[in-house]
Amino acid sequence: SQQGEEDPQALSIQEGENATMNCSYKTSINNLQWYRQNSGRGLVHLILIRSNEREKHSGRLRVTLDTSKKSSSLLITASRAADTASYFCATAGNTPLVFGKGTRLSVIA
């Protein structure tokens, strides 16, 4: 299975701190995507990183991809209370998107 697995399962930080979430997967991929899900809502696409890219930025988000280790990380800098949500990585290969179980991030004001 190429299912992504996020680590940690839950993360609690103070507002202003940085949050780092990791994702590991098992098979080769075309790209890896990160999504955010607020409680009781649908998923919102955050960023897509292709297999030939190593790092990508979008605002306060920084994503890295290490295909040799089959892992990715999502860094949220200067976190805000509004960043409180679940974050999922999704791997894309020759099959439809495969989502991990997510990291639940709580940012305390």
Contact residues for other proteins, defined by CB under 8 A: 3, 30-31, 33, 35, 41-45, 48, 88, 90, 92-93, 95-102
State CA 59 to chain mean position distance: 15
Nearest to other proteins of 44, 78 (CB atom): 44
Phi, psi of 66 (to 5 degrees): -120, 100
Nearest to other proteins of 64, 93 (CB atom): 93
Minimum CB separation of residue 34 from other proteins in Å reads: 11
Nearest to other proteins of 48, 61 (CB atom): 48
Minimum CB separation of residue 47 from other proteins in Å reads: 9
Rounded CA separation 72/4 (Å): 9
Residue entry with tokens 């290969």: 93
Q: Closest Cα partner for 75 from 53, 48, 56?
A: 56
